[in-house]
Structure 1
Amino acid sequence: MTTAFGRPDTTTRLQRPPLDASGEPEVEPVFWEGEPAGDAWRDPGASAVIGPPAVSEKAAEDGEAAQVGRGPLLSVPELLFGRRVKPTALALLLVVALAVGAAGGVVGWLFGRAGNELTDAGVTLAEVKPGKERPVGSVADIAKRVTPSVVSIEFKGANVAGVGSGVVIDGAGYILTNDHVVAPAVQDSSAKLTVVFIDGKRAIARVVGRDSKTDLAVIKVEADNPTVLQFGDSDELAVGDTVLAIGSPLSLSNTVTEGIVSALHRPVTAAGENGGPQVTYDAIQTDAAINPGNSGGALVDSSGALVGINSSIRTETGGSVGLGFAISGNYARKISQDLIQKGEVKHADMNVNVRSASAETAEGAQVQNVPDGGAAAQAGIVEGDVIVKVGDRLVRNAAELTVAVRDHEIGETVPVTLARQGRELTVQVTLRSD
């Protein structure tokens, strides 16, 4: 502490340069001895010297600036390796890099194969080149020929919307469908009918005529050369014959289902649209799947001819259970032709009110009321009579009497067999218009 913070020793003197023999201080020569003082920094005691100007006086007088040269650029090898490399060395390095990459790929492929012993990238599945043979008359052949003539019918308005089906029956654009398909659009002035063809083309449809009693209607569109479906003879059908139902069930357009004719001449009745007259028609029963949206579509036979217009199903579940009904093709042809030619249809009628009856002695349509001046009254039919036959057709209930009478023409006289007080008799009835 005394040494560090005590008073300095007064005997201590600053170091002086050594003296020479004459008693003068020795001075070491400077390293620039004998050289001109070109750099002021070499002699700390020298005065500052201003260096030469950046531009020579001559260049300044000429107005030209001194040109500064650019150094050489680095090559790629110098940039990558910091020095020049021989081309052969570069080529060798590239070959080594490619070899390492290839080796890594092979190793990865081997590890990949070893990861799952069940896979094999070398397997190629066999393919049969020839197309499947479809003989003429097969379901596929019939569907190919028929589906272009079956259309979807869409109706949409402020309060109604739905989809049904239809069949092109004439090249002028006439389409046959069910009356209950077009009825909502007719009853709602804001609604419009649109027909959609198999190729996606759409056309606005207009109603030509309706027959609410038989649930048939004809509409018309403007279309260029539509595919027309020809009518067949539905009277030639037999139970067990193959039939196809084509339409748009559940809005699934161009749906084809296959089945058989389950029964013929099955009378079908249904309530009329919005309080309209009761619907009654002679139906072909089929187990070909028919669902909501199939209405108005085609039922075709094994030749692809139109033998029915799909109209309804009978079900307790709301879905298809193999009980579908189509309006017979021969009757649909007659009704549609009248609608196209006249815009309306008149039906043959006996002008009698009946109910279904079944007893030990008779089964048929029992007369409830006979209006005066009607065809039945003129023929002598009275209340309580049970009609069992019209022409050649048996009558087993009230609906069958209606379709049996409509099979005949207005003004035609037909024999009607009936049971009265336990005995059978036949009367001649001249049918009138409904």
Structure 2
Amino acid sequence: MTGPTDPQGSTPDAADTATPGEHADGATNGHGPAQTNGQTNGQTNGQSNGHGANGHGAANGHTNGHTNGHGNGHHADERELAAVFGRPAGVEGGFGERDTGRARPPGRGEAPAPALVAAFGRPEGPDATSLQRPERPADDDRGPDDFWENDTATSDPWRDPDAGAELGGPALRESRSGEAARPVGPRLSARELVLGRRVQPTALALLAVMALLLGAVGGVVGWAVAGGADSLVDPGATLTPVEAGRERPPGSVADVAGRVAPAVVSLELQAGSSGGTGSGVVLTPDGYIVTNNHVVELAANDPRASLEAVFASGMRAPARVVGRDPNTDVAVVKVDVANPVVAQLGRSADLRVGDGVIAIGSPLGLAGTVTEGIVSSVDRPVRLDAESAEANPVIDAIQTDAAINPGNSGGALVDTSGAVVGINTAIRTLGGGEGGSIGLGFAIPIDDVRTIAQSIIRTGGYAHSDLGVNAKSVTDGTADGAQILNVRQGGPASRAGVQEGDVVLRVDDRPIASADELVVAVREHLPGQTVSLGVVREGRPLTLQVTL
């Protein structure tokens, strides 16, 4: 098999025989080392004219890898291709060696402008160091000088492009033992440090004077504006202190409290995990103190309980229960204290509604608390909470609006002269857990307390008068009274002829409007005394004499 002739009409020699990778079927697409010279026709289909190393076969290269075979029937076309892509005239064999040198930078062959040479060229002189590459002729096609000119690349990884990255020590500056010490300059003054060395002292002084003047003007303007905005402010005002009066007028609250408070003590009760506080009033110089029964009842019934009296001076003393009267909520305790302050007892019968009164005690443990009020009512029958089934605690109370709270029990209610007119004992509340004062306080009249306390001190107890009946409060729409429910056989009422269903309207001269008032009216008399009972029986009024 022979190949087509070249444009010169030469015949291929034996070396033109097709071998693997050189020629096949008269037209071959040259590949690899067999292709020695290729010319690109600039078309996008990538056709090329290939010349084998040992023949002159013309090949049409395609990027898709297909080979175009040409037979003898297409010699005319081949000649036309050979004329276009064949070897130039006068050239024997293949094309010259491919230039494998490095790309030459643009404009390398042109000489630099004289102005650039003067500005950036090498300094003149015999010892001048060249900072530029040596100039080469324009036709010098050698590539640029290799940067790695010596063997330093093998020892300096920064100059070796093939050196791998690795971690090294910190980039610290090497210490130089022989380095000369830096000279110490002169110290600068404050003016030189802040303003430099170009400011004259006179200019600095002038600047300070101007700053002071501006500050003074601003202060004056601000003061004037502030004074005009708020004319109520007087910076020059001075309050003259007034000497307080050392003497309180007689009968004042301060005068009364100062004289009575030392005679009122706090009573502290402790019985295991239970305890409470109350108040008491010193009755005698030998340490007898009157208080309420409900304050000391636990101490009287529990031998483990301890009771202490705390005086206004802070002195403490153990207290012992002398006796109690549950029916009137009165009790007496005794302390062994030398010369205590004794309260002055007044007359509750002289009280009138509207009289001023003062309550002194220890509400909620706050010793020496003083509150002021008036007498709201007198002879007010009030039933107290019964501490035992046998007791029938009803008092003919003094009602006051002076604040009385838990802890005030057993404390003093005094008039404006400082005399004790009652012993505080109870308050009326709204219920629902509200235990504070609402202006409804009650005290046991001191006339009753004096009689009962004296009996307790002498005998340890007190005996009340008793009618021997049970009654309830009734009304017929026009009159109120106490209706007898039952009569105890052999009692005072039974002996006097009182019957069940009788309605008691009065005891002596005191009207009876309720069952509680019947109790307190009878207790006003001593046992053995005779009283007159006004009753209504089946619509007929009767008067009965009853010996208590």
TM-score, normalised to structure 1, is 0.70
Question: How much has 1:250 moved relative to structure 2?
Answer: 1.3
Q: Please list, as runs of the form range in 1=range in 2, the aligned pairs for 1:32-51 lying within 5 A after superposition.
A: none
Find out whether 1:127 has 2:229 as its counterpart: no
SS of match in other structure, 1:428: strand
In the alignment, which residue of structure 1 is the partner of 2:391? 277
2:342 is aligned, of 215, 228, 231, to 228
Structure 2: 5+ residue stretches without partners:
1-211, 227-232
- Conserved? CA contact 1:160–1:185, under 8 Å: no
SS of match in other structure, 2:520: helix
In the alignment, which residue of structure 2 is the partner of 1:351? 468
- Conserved? CA contact 1:270–1:279, under 8 Å: yes
Find out whether 1:413 has 2:530 as its counterpart: yes
- Conserved? CA contact 1:159–1:188, under 8 Å: no
CA distance in structure 2 between the partners assigned to 1:299 and 1:312 by the alignment: 12
Find out whether 1:145 has 2:249 as its counterpart: no
Q: 209-218 or 389-398: which moved more?
A: 389-398
CA distance in structure 1 between the partners assigned to 2:480 and 2:524 by the alignment: 21
CA distance in structure 1 between the partners assigned to 2:409 and 2:538 by the alignment: 44
- Conserved? CA contact 1:179–1:217, under 8 Å: yes
Larger gyration radius, structure 1 or structure 2 = 2
CA distance in structure 1 between the partners assigned to 2:279 and 2:390 by the alignment: 22
In the alignment, which residue of structure 1 is the partner of 2:329? 215
Question: How much has 1:360 moved relative to structure 2?
Answer: 2.7
Q: 387-396 or 200-209: which moved more?
A: 387-396
In the alignment, which residue of structure 2 is the partner of 1:339? 456
Amino acid at match of 2:383: T
SS of match in other structure, 2:332: strand
In the alignment, which residue of structure 2 is the partner of 1:167? 281
1:245 is aligned, of 341, 344, 359, to 359
CA distance in structure 2 between the partners assigned to 1:409 and 1:278 by the alignment: 17
Q: Please list, as runs of the form range in 1=range in 2, the aligned pairs for 1:91-106 lying within 5 A after superposition.
A: none
Q: 359-368 or 130-139: which moved more?
A: 130-139
Q: Please list, as runs of the form range in 1=range in 2, the aligned pairs for 1:9-408 lying within 5 A after superposition.
A: 125-131=239-245, 133-316=247-430, 317-408=434-525
CA distance in structure 2 between the partners assigned to 1:339 and 1:223 by the alignment: 20
Question: How much has 1:297 moved relative to structure 2?
Answer: 0.4
Q: Deviations over 1:327-360 (max 9, x none)?
A: 0110010000000000011000111111111113
Structure 1: 5+ residue stretches without partners:
1-106
Moved over 4 A (4+): 116-125
SS of match in other structure, 2:262: helix
Amino acid at match of 1:181: V
Q: Indicate the percent of aligned positions where both proteins have the same amino acid.
A: 55
Amino acid at match of 1:220: K
CA distance in structure 1 between the partners assigned to 2:375 and 2:255 by the alignment: 20
Question: How much has 1:189 moved relative to structure 2?
Answer: 2.4
Distance 1:277 1:138, change over 3 A: same
- Cα RMSD after superposing both structures: 2.2
Asked which structure has the greater RCO (Cα within 8 Å, sep 6+), the reply is 1
CA distance in structure 1 between the partners assigned to 2:397 and 2:234 by the alignment: 60
- Conserved? CA contact 1:207–1:218, under 8 Å: yes
Question: How much has 1:186 moved relative to structure 2?
Answer: 2.1
- How many residues align structurally? 320
In the alignment, which residue of structure 2 is the partner of 1:26? none
TM-score, normalised to structure 2, is 0.56
SS of match in other structure, 2:536: strand
